[in-house]
């Protein structure tokens, strides 16, 4: 099996808060993208290197072994437990300030659902329509690469005070469901 280094883009031109969805290349640490087996600590450490995930922000989502992870304190940490120990891994949008969000990746993905984080809570939809993923050129030099971007407008005022799960899939993994909080 040939393992390749992730070819990460610098991303889109930003006017929004961004969440980079980073897919760890197939075969890193001996783990298949489609593996249902929970990776060992050693495999997580190998996947968490700059060559594979770059320098992610705490709110970025690392997809490894069909699961979402967040990179915090030099380690890949399991979702959703990571949000309890590291609240800065939840994307916070300030609705009153008009903050928008986009999710982007070097690989295609589709947002399939946006729902209240707590299934026992009724929360209004944060957006009138589901964000649609479109190809765009990244800001890479000298040659821009194609990246996949789902842009969303400012959440509705009624979304303030609610936390949501943004569920996405692609041709290999899913569902993956990072969190977003509207304040």
Per this entry, what is the length of the chain?
183
User: What pTM was computed for the model?
Assistant: 0.87
Residue 11 lies in a domain: no
Residue 5 lies in a domain: no
3-state SS assignment for residue 24: coil
Residue 8 lies in a domain: no
pLDDT value at residue 1 = 53
Q: Which two tokens stand for residue 100?
A: 């928008």
How many domains in the chain? 1
State the DSSP H helix or E strand holding residue 75, giving kind and residue range, or none if neither.
Answer: strand 75-78
pLDDT value at residue 6 = 66
Domain that holds residue 83: 17-182
Residue 2 lies in a domain: no
Separation CA 72–CA 86 (nearest Å): 8
Do residues 72 and 86 make contact, with C-beta atoms less than 8 angstroms apart? yes
Q: Which two tokens stand for residue 138?
A: 């990244």
Residues in the chain predicted with pLDDT less than 70, given as ranges, are 1-7, 10-15, 141-142
């Amino acid at each position: 099996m040939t393992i390749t280094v992730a070819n990460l883009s610098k991303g889109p031109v930003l006017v929004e808060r961004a969440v980079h969805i980073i897919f760890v290349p197939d075969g890193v640490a001996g783990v298949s993208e489609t593996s249902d087996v929970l990776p060992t600590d050693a495999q997580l450490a190998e996947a968490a290197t700059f060559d594979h995930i770059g320098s992610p922000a705490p709110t970025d989502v690392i997809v490894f072994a069909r699961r979402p992870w967040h990179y915090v304190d030099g380690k890949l940490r399991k979702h959703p437990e990571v949000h309890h120990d590291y609240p800065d891994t939840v994307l916070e949008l300030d609705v009153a300030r008009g903050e928008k969000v986009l999710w982007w990746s070097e690989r295609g993905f589709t947002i399939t659902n946006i729902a209240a984080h707590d299934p026992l809570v009724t929360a209004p939809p944060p957006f009138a329509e589901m964000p649609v993923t479109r190809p765009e050129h990244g800001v890479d030099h000298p040659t821009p690469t194609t990246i996949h971007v789902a842009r969303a407008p400012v959440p509705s005022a009624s979304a303030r005070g609610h936390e949501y799960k943004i569920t996405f899939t692609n041709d290999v993994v899913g569902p993956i469901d990072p969190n977003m909080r509207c304040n």
